[in-house]
Structure 1
Amino acid sequence: MSKINKVAVIGAGVMGSGIAAQVANAGHSVLLLDIVPEGAENRNIIAETALQKMMKADPAPFMSKRAAKLVETGNVEDDLEKLADVDWVIEVVIEKLDVKQALYRRIDTVRKPGTAISSNTSTIPLEKLVEGMPEAFQRDFMITHFFNPPRYMRLMELVLGAKTDKALAQSVEDFADRKLGKSVVHCNDRPGFVANRLGTTWIQLGVLKALEEGLSVEEADAVMGKPFGIPKTGIFGLIDLVGLDLMPHIGASLKSTLPEGDLFHETNRDLPLVNRMIEEGYTGRKGKGGFYRLNRATGQKIKEGIDLETGEYRVSVKPDHPKLKAAKKPRQVLEIDGPLGRYALGVMTNTLAYAARLVGDAADDIASIDEVMRLGYNWRWGPFELVDLIGSEWLVAKMRENGIDVPELLDNLGDKTFYRIEDGRRQALQPDGSYRDIARPEGVIMLEDFKRTQEPLLKNGSAAVWDIGDDVLCFEFTSKANAMDDQIMDLLNKTIGLVKRKYKALVIYNEGTNFSVGANLGLALFVANIAAWGEIEKLVSSGQSTYKKMKYAPFPVVAAPSGMALGGGCEVLLHVDAVQAHAESYIGLVECGVGLVPAWGGCKEMLTRWQKSGKLPNGPMPAASKVFEMISTATVAKSAEEARELMFLKTDDAVTMNRYRLLADAKAKALSLVDGYQPPEPEEVYLPGPAGKVAFQMAAEGFARRGIATPHDLTVADELATVLSGGQTDIFDTMDEDAIMELEQDSFMRLVKNNKTLARFESVVETGKPLRN
């Protein structure tokens, strides 16, 4: 199998530059080329401008500043010969066959034999792209369809030609999987593959049916929302996110390539409102707005939605339909009487029937189509998983009622389901009516698979413990949003004892969207409202002692975060032997934002790390100042690499690019630490004492004068300054971790009794955002 090291991307538009950034995020050199504009003095201006834009973009295409240095810019006139040094060339130029083929002929004259060549197209069949090209080129060619933005969207559709070298394609797939973090789905060489064909048809159905039923954009998006496992953007919000101006381009391509009678053609109608919006610059979030916009005319941000009949904007109103609010499952929405239920039926029955027709055409199996919609459109369930949730017989009856031609795959299903569990293994229905195990790629283990075959060793309402083999246990948070509470502390204590008696290592991991969003503020608010201060103090003490026990346990502990690891979740990472972090881990101590200070050892761990890091001048003040700056501003690392720079992760902590590989990598990391394991030695730090506290207070007051800090921010900063300066310590004395944690607890308890802190709690619980009081 050919090894891929260096990559070239030709086409420095939003997608091409984003793909280049993700290659760099993986630690590989990448050459980014584009054309030379007519009359340009700087012949690399297009690629260089793209790189500069990415450095400033939010969300950021790069995971670190270091990654950006791996991108070399150039142009296709002067630098094409450099392709002789690369292992994979990705073409991301304009969707015109003649332009692409002309480029391929030039690439073929300079590349070395066996270099992988791929196109990011999703509209031109591979068969057309390689028509008339040499045999050797056809062997090395494939389609690799990334999704925008390439850093954050985990899906890549892979299409091979009749002559594509399977070993070379496997090299590309392996690189995309392990290095770029992609879930690679094999699609057939059909127009739009799976994502664009099914997703575009679903979106167009959503728009047309809303017009037919007279629904507002808010009502339509509420229907196509949580009960179906669809992101809260719904359909109209999703169009705004992707861009209205992209729809006509995809539509035109699919119109010219899909066969007559395909459902897409029925949904692909010319909509005067959409045309007018595009002409006037209302192309979605990247333009002046779209179906929704923010009106800042009065100096405030007022969300408005467009009236689909008049085309005029009005204040956006959240739908207030009791049955829709009460609906928790897909079928409950489909059974609502009136326009909302008819809308749901009209969109989803047609979409699910269309998905069934794509099996054996766009892709060979149902699992691939489900994966595309889960990762390409962020659906919680794929279309065939939705059929199982709704009930196929009920759904087929509704399709017939609505005059929908029922696909054979659904018609023959009867009382079967598309997925089933057999001997603890998840199986998917095949087109021939048999079931086949869903096989994980080599090197992938998922906690959900273990959970199907065993009972937890320990469990309570907020956590569970699982045996993942090789004498390694997995501790899983199961509370809402994986928020930390007393039950997690209790079970973690018991788990430490269990591992100590019978096992070799512990991994802390879960398969939620976020590792942990921090402490359960709703519970804290309830306890505070009844003035049960003793219970809160007990929780703080329990967290400190549990995390300390975990830190000094006689076996290795590895944490494997993905998504947000905030507050108490971050403090878990600070107390383990090693972290195996998913690349998209967002880590930080954010307690000051809700009116508190970190009190489960976060302050003392960050002080220790920065003081011994060698990154700062010696002495007690530099490290304390750095930690004060980070915690007081609730700094959150926006990637695992940034977390390493901020020392939320240690220099030798590891990063996994593919979310599906995280547990296997964490388990391997834990096992690698078993032989000869020794817990860390307790450490002491020098802190600046009262003089340091004065300096921190002055810094906070400076923020207040600039309007950045609120009055309560100053109160919180004063308590944080007390902790990080060491209270009344002498600058020449060392402090151990118990002394610092005592300061953490004292400051925390003073703040939690402050009414302004409780007001922040209440705001977070009700709105998701802290009050700026």
Structure 2
Amino acid sequence: MSDTIKKICVIGAGTMGAGIAAQVANAGVPVLLLDIVRDPADRNAVAAGAVAKMLKTDPAPFMSKAAAKLVETGNIEDDLARVAECDWIVEAIVERLDLKQQLYAKLEDVRRAGTAISSNTSTIPLGHLIEGRSEAFRRDFLITHFFNPPRYMRLLEIVSGPESHAALVARVSDFADRQLGKTIVVAKDTPGFIANRVGTFWIQAALNAAFELGLTVEEADAIAGKPMGVPKTGVFGLVDLVGIDLMPHLQKSLTETLPKGDAYQAISTIPPLIGKMIAEGYTGRKGKGGFYRLNREAGKRKEAINLATGEYRAVVTPPSLPGAAAKGDLGALLALPGKSGAYAWAILGQTLAYAASLVPDAADDIVSVDTAMKLGYNWSFGPFELIDKIGAVALAKRLADEGKPVPAILTLAGERSFYRVENGVRQYLGLDGAYHDIVRPDGVLMLADIKLSSKPLAKTASAALWDVGDGVACIEFTGKMNALDGEVMALIGKAIPIVAEKFKALVVYNEGKSFSAGANLGLALFALNIAAWGEIDKLVAGGQEAYKALKYAPFPVVSAPFGMALGGGCEILLNSDAVQAHAETYTGLVECGVGLIPGWGGCGEMIDRWRSNPAMPKGPMPAVAKVFETVSTATVSKSAAEAKEYGFLRPSDGITMNRDRLLADAKAKALALAEGYQPPAPPEFRLPGAAGRVALDMAVKGFQARGLATDYDGVVSGFLADVLTGGEADLVDTVTEADLLALERKAFAKLVRDTRTQARIETILETGKPLRN
């Protein structure tokens, strides 16, 4: 049995199989993608077509175009023997037991002994899949249930059988964790496993109750969405997203495989309206519409279906829920009078009781259930975390008062919570009635855990400094959307002497939803409205000073971005010694979109990156032109791999696939740099001057003539061109880093005083969309 997975075969090039293959390629691992022969003249057309389609899909399954080159396509008839080249075979064909078993019989004859074989099934028990297979096959078999889309959904449910080889399962799990970026949840071999079993029950309960209580789809989604920690789509919006036609298939699978006494059997039904919608092609976003639709004949009016009549009407925003109920207080939500409180209870009472009944039937512990729902369905809180918000006693009492079964685990908990923090360690309640530490996988370091048992070394209103062990400190942004302001710069000023005296290195990292959305535009707009120009100028100068202090600190600085790292959030990456980025990092200098230019050193850092790129032609103009193209169009990378292509990351910067491993990887990189560290020397530039500026202005005019740039885009780009080409400097002059920073400040100060920039800032804050003025 091989100890490493160097090549993978995916059989089945449908949406899931192709997506799995793409994620394998994203990890830098070669993958063989096979499917059936449909066209004798082009025998690989199905698999090859899937790859071609993914290259055009948005959101993109591939993290970069280069990753697609790692996918080799073939067909099951001609190329099945090539599975012998692979260390893991993933079966992702149609959910039919007979077809899967026929494929497995063929694999028995061609695979290498000890090669892992897994099914991506979401409904068929493992025991059924391996009926009739050899002992060797059964030993190497497991279920790896990915969630769609495989690149973006972090959950991977793994199910092994009683004969599965433990070392093989561990090898697949470790690969999926470290290289595919998945959080592994071990599930039992029960129908629907964990996430889909609870999730399907939750959706069914919510749909049934909306019909029974006479709610509109908007009312239902307002209650079953944000107040419960569910994505803003709510339930009806979610069903539209995944496809209404999927519901009958899930229902059929679960009702056929779940025990007769399972609670899902009692609520499983497809309302006549849903059957009618499917028959008429109203299958959700992929069809003509669903519970919601965009009526193009009525000027793209958003409409919702009337659950009683089946007729569409204009969407009506329901009244806001009162106070605490709208902010996630489940007790207040359940106590609401009338239909609102009744609907909340119909969902939560049934779903939480059902989830509680599945331990230990579907999962060994409550943590597995909560993790599965948070990562598989994007819930902010898992079922047992939600029960803690209500109280196990209160939930059990209401169930009992209504004559409904009370799950044993609720009785076991009694007055206790399912989770607690003891001596700085988060613990969960086990089935033995005792609390157990939540143990992270080896190599996972979470700032949330560190914060449970320590206090910050320094703190301001928008940032904090933490000791993350082994001589490494960590700057954490703490403001809304981790926006950057004077309080962040003040924390950087406090941190540098502390780290210099007591630590070896510094990482910049946090565990918010994104690394940073950039400068605090709300604060900037407030200052603009009262003409506090001095405060704006102070923020720009303070940011430059803080970022350059990090760049030239006597210790290495490693930034660890994830999600959005925009504007000033990108500039801190550019000023760091190194970056360890999560694979899903979306970074860029977006200031031109709001009528500004990068003001915290981004212009010089980007020129320095591109002029040192071996592929860049020599001379002062090529690097400047490349930076101008990227920054003037507010280009944002759609992955960390793409960020390297744009120059936001260096070729040497690291990429971490698993979000939970980012801090540990960044810390390791910082410690590696600390040995014999010397700060960089300030760069000097030869820039193209007036001639280069004319060339850039001509390029902008060309875009304006084609309608690709507005009049004010031209103004903003003109200021950017002035900075990038060196201002008044001539081609023979040496431009220092300080000179470029001064040019940034000067251009920023003029743009921020322009009412057209102020209109752009106001619009982006109000609508989240750029103003094209």
Superposition pairs of residues 371-386 of structure 1, within 5 angstroms: 371-386=371-386
Match of 1:203 in 2: 203
Match of 1:462 in 2: 462
The runs of 5 or more residues in structure 1 that have no matched partner are: none
Match of 1:232 in 2: 232
Match of 1:353 in 2: 353
Superposition pairs of residues 391-402 of structure 1, within 5 angstroms: 391-402=391-402
Shift of 1:325: 8.2
Match of 1:507 in 2: 507
| Cα distance between partner residues in 2 of 1:395 and 1:229 | 18
Greater displacement, 754-763 / 6-15: 754-763
2:123 is the counterpart of 1:111: no
2:168 is the counterpart of 1:172: no
Match of 1:5 in 2: 6
Number of aligned residue pairs: give it.
771
Match of 1:305 in 2: 304
Q: 1:307 is aligned with what amino acid?
A: N
Residue 636 of structure 1 aligns to a residue whose secondary structure is: coil
Change (3 A) 1:402 1:724: farther
Residue 184 of structure 2 aligns to a residue whose secondary structure is: strand
Match of 2:313 in 1: 314
Match of 1:570 in 2: 570
Change (3 A) 1:659 1:367: same
| Cα distance between partner residues in 2 of 1:402 and 1:242 | 33
2:762 is the counterpart of 1:765: no
**Is the 8 Å Cα contact of residues 445 and 660 (structure 1) preserved in structure 2?**
yes
Match of 1:734 in 2: 734
Residue 581 of structure 1 aligns to a residue whose secondary structure is: strand
Match of 2:216 in 1: 216
Shift of 1:337: 1.3
| Cα distance between partner residues in 1 of 2:661 and 2:333 | 35
| Cα distance between partner residues in 2 of 1:406 and 1:145 | 30
| Cα distance between partner residues in 2 of 1:322 and 1:759 | 32
Shift of 1:608: 1.1
Shift of 1:712: 2.0
**Is the 8 Å Cα contact of residues 396 and 411 (structure 2) preserved in structure 1?**
yes
| Cα distance between partner residues in 1 of 2:416 and 2:77 | 59
Match of 2:75 in 1: 75
Greater displacement, 373-382 / 275-284: 275-284
Match of 1:254 in 2: 254
| Cα distance between partner residues in 2 of 1:310 and 1:699 | 57
Residue 157 of structure 2 aligns to a residue whose secondary structure is: strand
| Cα distance between partner residues in 2 of 1:189 and 1:108 | 23
| Cα distance between partner residues in 1 of 2:768 and 2:225 | 19
Q: 2:318 is aligned with what amino acid?
A: P
Match of 2:336 in 1: 336
Change (3 A) 1:102 1:326: closer
Residue 564 of structure 1 aligns to a residue whose secondary structure is: strand
Superposition pairs of residues 43-62 of structure 1, within 5 angstroms: 43-62=43-62
| Cα distance between partner residues in 1 of 2:70 and 2:734 | 43
Q: 1:304 is aligned with what amino acid?
A: E
Superposition pairs of residues 422-437 of structure 1, within 5 angstroms: 422-437=422-437
Change (3 A) 1:529 1:696: same
Match of 2:653 in 1: 653
**Is the 8 Å Cα contact of residues 181 and 659 (structure 1) preserved in structure 2?**
yes
Shift of 1:227: 2.5
Shift of 1:326: 6.1
Greater displacement, 716-725 / 133-142: 716-725
**Is the 8 Å Cα contact of residues 324 and 336 (structure 1) preserved in structure 2?**
no
| Cα distance between partner residues in 2 of 1:568 and 1:555 | 22
Change (3 A) 1:254 1:326: closer
Shift of 1:550: 0.4
Shift of 1:711: 2.3
**Is the 8 Å Cα contact of residues 471 and 504 (structure 1) preserved in structure 2?**
yes
Residue 518 of structure 2 aligns to a residue whose secondary structure is: coil
**Is the 8 Å Cα contact of residues 248 and 270 (structure 2) preserved in structure 1?**
no
| Cα distance between partner residues in 2 of 1:403 and 1:697 | 76
Match of 2:187 in 1: 187
Change (3 A) 1:40 1:454: same
Residue 152 of structure 2 aligns to a residue whose secondary structure is: coil
| Cα distance between partner residues in 1 of 2:694 and 2:290 | 50
The runs of 5 or more residues in structure 2 that have no matched partner are: none
With the length of structure 2 as denominator, give the TM-score of the two structures. 0.98
| Cα distance between partner residues in 1 of 2:663 and 2:567 | 22
Runs ≥4 in structure 1, deviation > 6 angstroms?
none
Q: 1:572 is aligned with what amino acid?
A: I
**Is the 8 Å Cα contact of residues 22 and 67 (structure 2) preserved in structure 1?**
yes
Q: 1:250 is aligned with what amino acid?
A: L
Match of 1:277 in 2: 277
Residue 273 of structure 1 aligns to a residue whose secondary structure is: helix
Residue 145 of structure 1 aligns to a residue whose secondary structure is: strand
**Is the 8 Å Cα contact of residues 122 and 193 (structure 2) preserved in structure 1?**
yes
With the length of structure 1 as denominator, give the TM-score of the two structures. 0.98
| Cα distance between partner residues in 2 of 1:283 and 1:726 | 56
Residue 678 of structure 2 aligns to a residue whose secondary structure is: coil
Residue 79 of structure 1 aligns to a residue whose secondary structure is: helix
Shift of 1:305: 1.6
Superposition pairs of residues 604-753 of structure 1, within 5 angstroms: 604-753=604-753
| Cα distance between partner residues in 1 of 2:625 and 2:717 | 12
Match of 1:36 in 2: 37
Please give the per-residue CA displacement for 1:389-410, whole angstroms capped at 9, x wherever unaligned.
2222222233234443211111
| Cα distance between partner residues in 2 of 1:184 and 1:413 | 26
Superposition pairs of residues 18-37 of structure 1, within 5 angstroms: 18-37=19-38
Residue 90 of structure 1 aligns to a residue whose secondary structure is: strand
Please give the per-residue CA displacement for 1:116-154, whole angstroms capped at 9, x wherever unaligned.
000000111100111111000000000000000000000
Change (3 A) 1:301 1:627: farther
Shift of 1:164: 0.3
| Cα distance between partner residues in 2 of 1:190 and 1:152 | 25
**Is the 8 Å Cα contact of residues 350 and 404 (structure 1) preserved in structure 2?**
no
Change (3 A) 1:740 1:402: farther
**Is the 8 Å Cα contact of residues 227 and 325 (structure 2) preserved in structure 1?**
no
Shift of 1:2: 2.3
Shift of 1:324: 6.5
| Cα distance between partner residues in 1 of 2:92 and 2:402 | 42
**Is the 8 Å Cα contact of residues 515 and 564 (structure 1) preserved in structure 2?**
yes
- Identity value in percent: 60
2:547 is the counterpart of 1:547: yes
| Cα distance between partner residues in 2 of 1:55 and 1:496 | 44
| CA RMSD after TM alignment | 1.2
Match of 2:322 in 1: 323
| Cα distance between partner residues in 1 of 2:664 and 2:46 | 41
Q: 2:441 is aligned with what amino acid?
A: P
